[in-house]
Chains A and B, each alone.
Chain A
């Protein structure tokens, strides 16, 4: 947890975010997020990016394709426009997803 990265509500990132440790997005990211642990898109966040991470948790807005190697969770208030590829998916009441869902990853 101490190694986590946090992009605050006033932060705008255009480009790539790569890394191993947890990333919490509260601001705006346009580009690519590719990390080995969890990517957390918080309620204030707007992400227009391709997101891939071991776990992706969304309670903000994501426009782009999402790959969650072990899990994707869309919480109430989460809004996703894009395709989701994952082994496990959880969608809460109050979440919105528009796109294709591909769950073949976990069957290998």
Chain B
């Protein structure tokens, strides 16, 4: 399963503080409390617990994520995911069973419609 990811933060790894940036797909199964800036896909795995200021091209959440989250293409919140904070993404898919608390901003040109 991990082969599509060039970078993996495993279950028993904790990263606190600092910044993670790069252009490889990243799978997080551990605990991360950092700023993340990724020109690729970020996956928060079922065991992952991530909080911080997050920017990624694509996002998929199966675990827990909290923070100010900006996604450039598409964010998928899978069943059993728990996400809180501000999530901005042009496209968002939320599956049944996903729990979200906070603010969603999606699509473009919404302000004009008001």
Report A's interface with B, CB cutoff 8 A.
63, 79, 81, 88-104
B104 touches A97 (CB 8 A): yes
Q: Please state if A97 and B106 are interface contacts (CB–CB under 8 Å).
A: yes
Q: How many A-B residue pairs have CB under 8 A?
A: 50
A89: B residues at CB distance < 8 A: 94, 98, 100
Which secondary structure dominates where chain B touches chain A? strand
Contact A98 B100 (CB under 8 A): no
B46 within 8 A of A: no
Q: How far is the CA of A81 from the CA of B112 in the complex (A)?
A: 12
Taking CB atoms, residues of chain B closer than 8 Å to A101 are 100-104
Q: Is B95 part of the binding interface, using a Cβ–Cβ cutoff of 8 Å?
A: yes
Q: A81-B110, A81-B114 are in contact. Are A93 and B99 (CB under 8 A)?
A: no
**Chain B residues bordering chain A, tally (CB within 8 A):** 21
CB contacts (< 8 Å) of B98 on chain A: these are 89
Distance A94 CA – B106 CA, assembled complex (angstroms): 10
Verify if B107 is at the interface (C-beta below 8 Å from A).
Answer: yes
**Contact mask for chain B residues 82-114; partner A; CB cutoff 8 A; 1 contact, 0 none:** 000000000111111111111111110010011
Residues 19-55 of chain B: 1 if any A CB is under 8 Å from the residue's CB, otherwise 0? 0000000000000000000000000000000000000
B93 & A81 in contact (Cβ 8 Å cutoff): no
Q: Please tell me if the beta carbons of A100 and B107 are within 8 angstroms of each other in the complex.
A: no
Task: Name the CB-closest residue of A to B82.
Answer: A103
